[in-house]
């Protein structure tokens, strides 16, 4: 018999431990610091823009606090929305749009931006609410995409079948990508949320979201198992109940035999007496 040679555990040096601790600390602090830095930069940018657009607001001392410009901007946008919902606001918007539509370059930019925002912000829109897998750029290669709506108008007229618009983002910048018109039957609709899909695209596949669909199917299977066992047991009980009535005729026959035997004994006793 050959004995296995057990190698002694390798000792970890001080430099290896310092390196491991440094990487652990980097993994813990880097996301927090980057989040704080990006948030702080965005708040400062909005504050500076509000101060440049509303110079009279910067005269007050409280405007020097970070985030005040963000609050003022949100309040101003809300007030503009309230005014635009009224008759006067709609008249002003129509007047402004009529002026912009007369400008050759500006009208195309304004029209495109308005249509995109109305489609994305609309509560009834299905844009960027479904994550799919599509074979692209050839068979056997799959990419993540987002359904932006059903194919309509001339494109739908010239292409037969149930087609959908699919946006395929690029990595690591998901704001650029490709627009594909794909048959619905060639797409694989995923249970993954849009946020998880964006994380997967931006990280280049490093951040993989958990498979919630597998957990749901496992839970459904485990919940359905006791029901299946109960269904299997129920027919067995029914068959046993069906078999039990068969015993009643046998009991009746045995009782009839006993009565007949008693009658014979009574006749013999009567004959002897006579």
- pTM value > 0.95: no
Q: Give the pLDDT confidence score for residue 214 in this predicted structure.
A: 67
Q: Are 56 and 72 in contact (CB under 8 A)?
A: no
Q: How confident is the model at residue 54 (pLDDT cuts 50, 70, 90)?
A: confident
Structure confidence by residue, pLDDT tens digits, 149-195: 899 999 999 998 899 999 999 998 888 999 999 999 999 999 999 99
Place of tokens 């993989």: 208
Give the residue with greater pLDDT, 44 vs 58. Answer: 44
Q: Give the pLDDT confidence score for residue 114 in this predicted structure.
A: 85
State how far the Cα of 198 lies from the Cα of 195, in Å rounded to an integer.
Answer: 5
Q: Give the pLDDT confidence score for residue 190 in this predicted structure.
A: 93
- Domain ranges within the chain, ordered by starting residue: 17-106, 131-214
Q: Are 134 and 187 in contact (CB under 8 A)?
A: yes
pLDDT at 261 over 80: no
Q: Give the pLDDT confidence score for residue 1 in this predicted structure.
A: 47
pLDDT cut 90: percent of the chain above it: 26
Q: Give the pLDDT confidence score for residue 252 in this predicted structure.
A: 58
Give the residue with greater pLDDT, 220 vs 102. Answer: 102
pLDDT at 229 over 70: no
Q: Tell which residue, 211, 55, 193, has the closest CA to residue 132.
A: 193
Structure confidence by residue, pLDDT tens digits, 2-33: 555 666 666 767 888 898 899 999 988 998 99
Q: Tell which residue, 83, 86, 76, 164, has the closest CA to residue 128.
A: 164
> Average per-residue pLDDT in the chain?
80
Q: How confident is the model at residue 101 (pLDDT cuts 50, 70, 90)?
A: confident
Two structure tokens written together for 188? 């694989």
pLDDT at 144 over 90: yes
Vertex 91 angle, CA 87 and 93, to 5°: 115
Q: Give the pLDDT confidence score for residue 246 in this predicted structure.
A: 47
């Amino acid at each position: 018999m050959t004995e296995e040679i057990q190698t002694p555990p390798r000792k970890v040096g001080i430099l290896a431990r310092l390196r491991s601790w440094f990487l652990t600390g980097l993994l813990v602090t880097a996301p927090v610091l980057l989040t704080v830095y990006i948030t702080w930069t965005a708040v400062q940018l909005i504050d500076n823009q509000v101060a440049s657009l509303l110079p009279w607001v910067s005269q007050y001392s409280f405007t020097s606090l970070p985030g005040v410009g963000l609050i003022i901007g949100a309040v101003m946008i809300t007030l503009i929305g309230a005014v635009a919902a009224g008759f006067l606001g709609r008249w002003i918007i129509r007047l402004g749009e009529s002026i912009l539509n007369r400008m050759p370059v500006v009208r195309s930019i304004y029209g495109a931006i308005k249509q995109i925002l109305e489609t994305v912000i609309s509560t009834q829109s299905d844009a960027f609410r479904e994550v799919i897998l599509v074979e692209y750029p050839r068979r056997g290669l799959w990419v993540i995409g987002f359904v932006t709506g059903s194919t309509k108008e001339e494109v739908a007229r010239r292409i037969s079948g149930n087609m959908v618009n699919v946006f395929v983002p690029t990595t690591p910048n998901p704001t650029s990508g490709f627009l594909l018109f794909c048959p619905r039957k060639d797409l694989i609709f995923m249970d993954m949320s849009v946020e998880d899909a964006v994380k997967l695209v931006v990280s280049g596949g490093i951040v993989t979201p958990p498979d919630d669909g597998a957990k749901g199917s496992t839970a459904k299977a485990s919940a359905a198992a006791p029901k299946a066992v109960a269904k299997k047991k129920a027919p067995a009980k029914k068959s046993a109940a069906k078999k039990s009535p068969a015993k009643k005729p046998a009991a009746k026959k045995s009782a009839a035999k006993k009565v007949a035997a008693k009658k014979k004994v009574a006749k013999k006793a009567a004959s002897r007496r006579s």
